[in-house]
């Protein structure tokens, strides 16, 4: 069975003092939770200190972005070795806000995935359609393209730890969540595609998270879906009580699923 992951994307929120306070609360509130991978992704300026605070805890650290070169004259960018040196295990790649505001494409996503894995980070690759694309009936085509292009040229061994997050753009930060059926349809398609591109085992083992206005009161219906393996959480990850509620519900549902199997 795939152990779920709940990852918090803090986006451009929390200065260093706020970040340490939130990290401390999450550590306290989630210290005895098992059955679920917990990841927090603070802004780059917080990574080092938060990383130190997370040492020997059950919470992993992630960055929200990286550049594909290790060093050089790339003002404002942060490289994989730099991120790794702060204690990060994960890096979010291709979030829709990066695609929308910072010109990221499937090609840059592909380069960043290569750099991340080469440098020892686990990418959380984000894919998802806009409202216009959904309304035009193009959801499957768009997401298929993003997964195929983003993972082009890699073999399954290279991608063994990769995590994928399906995040319909129209559901991010809007309070609109995809219905469990809508999400499951895309998650199942991604798994079928992974089988076609790689292998059945790879597809069965790959964690595919859902993201888009996940809250303590909707995580349970989403997690009941067969192909949803956790969540990438924005707004609700900025408070310890809502984030840890989501984590605890996920852990409990996973425990029940394990007992049934
Ligand atoms: C996100 O930032 O990836 C996200 C899903 O945000 P929210 O939960 O606020 O919709």
User: Three-state SS for 231?
Assistant: strand
- What pLDDT was estimated at residue 59? 98
Round to whole Å and give the CA distance between 169 and 149: 18
User: Residue 168 Cα, ligand 1 centroid: separation in angstroms?
Assistant: 10
Q: Encode pLDDT of 38-68 as tens digits.
A: 999 999 999 999 999 999 999 999 999 999 9
Triad 75, 94, 218: Cα angle to 5°:
130
Round to whole Å and give the CA distance between 183 and 209: 10
Q: Choosing from 97, 104, 129, 167, which is the catalytic residue?
A: 167
Query: How is residue 229 annotated by DSSP?
Result: -
Q: Encode pLDDT of 97-112 as tens digits.
A: 999 999 999 999 999 9
Residues having CB within 6 Å of any atom of ligand 1 = 9, 11, 167, 172-173, 211-214, 232-236
Say which CATH number the domain at 49 has.
3.20.20.70
Q: What is the mean pLDDT of residues 29-36?
A: 94
Question: Quick one: how far is CA 84 from the chain centroid?
Answer: 17
Q: Encode pLDDT of 213-227 as tens digits.
A: 999 999 999 999 999
Q: Choosing from 18, 95, 204, 259, which is the catalytic residue?
A: 95
Q: Encode pLDDT of 166-205 as tens digits.
A: 999 999 988 888 899 999 999 999 999 999 999 999 999 9
**CA neighbor of 91 nearest in space, from 189, 163, 160:** 163
Cα dihedral 100, 145, 74, 51, rounded to 10, equals 80
Question: Quick one: how far is CA 215 from the chain centroid?
Answer: 15
pLDDT tier for residue 261 given thresholds of 50, 70 and 90: confident
Q: Encode pLDDT of 123-154 as tens digits.
A: 999 999 999 999 999 999 999 999 999 999 99
- What pLDDT was estimated at residue 257? 81
Mean pLDDT of the chain: 97
CB 217 within 8 A of CB 175: no
Pairing label, strands 163-166, 230-233: unpaired
Full residue range of the structural domain in which residue 33 is found: 5-260
What percent of the chain clears pLDDT 70, i.e. is strictly above it?
100
Q: Which atom of ligand 1 is nearest to the CA of 235?
A: 9
Please measure the distance between the N-terminal and C-terminal CA atoms of the chain and give it in whole angstroms.
Answer: 9
Q: Which atom of ligand 1 is nearest to the CA of 174?
A: 10
Examine the pLDDT at 256 and tell me if it is beyond 90. no
For residue 93, the cross-strand partners are 125
Domains identified in the chain, total number = 1
Residue nearest to atom 1 of ligand 1 (CA): 234
pLDDT tier for residue 78 given thresholds of 50, 70 and 90: very high
Pocket-testing residue among 91, 94, 211, 236, ligand 1, by greatest number of atoms within 8 A of Cβ? 211
Round to whole Å and give the CA distance between 216 and 223: 11
């Amino acid at each position: 069975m795939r152990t779920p992951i709940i990852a918090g994307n803090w986006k451009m929120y929390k200065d260093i003092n706020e970040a340490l306070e939130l990290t401390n609360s999450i550590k306290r509130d989630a210290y005895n939770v098992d059955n679920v991978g917990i990841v927090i992704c603070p802004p780059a300026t917080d990574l080092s200190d938060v990383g130190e605070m997370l040492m020997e805890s059950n919470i992993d650290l992630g960055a929200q972005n990286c550049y594909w070169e290790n060093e050089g004259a790339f003002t404002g960018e942060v490289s994989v070795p730099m991120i790794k040196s702060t204690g990060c295990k994960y890096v979010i790649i291709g979030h829709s806000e990066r695609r929308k505001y910072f010109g990221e494409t499937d090609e840059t996503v592909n380069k960043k995935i290569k750099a991340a894995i080469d440098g020892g980070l686990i990418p959380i690759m984000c894919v998802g359609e806009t409202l216009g694309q959904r309304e035009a009936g193009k959801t499957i085509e768009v997401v298929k393209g993003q997964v195929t292009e983003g993972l082009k040229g890699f073999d399954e061994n290279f991608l063994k730890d990769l995590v994928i997050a399906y995040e319909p753009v129209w559901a991010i930060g809007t309070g609109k969540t995809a219905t469990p059926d809508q999400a499951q349809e895309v998650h199942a398609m991604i798994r079928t595609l992974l089988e076609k591109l790689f292998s059945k085992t790879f597809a069965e083992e790959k964690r595919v998270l859902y993201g888009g206005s996940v809250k303590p009161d909707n995580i349970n219906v989403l997690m009941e879906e067969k192909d949803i393996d956790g969540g990438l959480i924005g707004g609700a990850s900025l408070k310890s009580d809502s984030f840890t509620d989501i984590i605890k519900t996920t852990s409990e549902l996973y425990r029940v699923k394990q007992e049934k199997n």
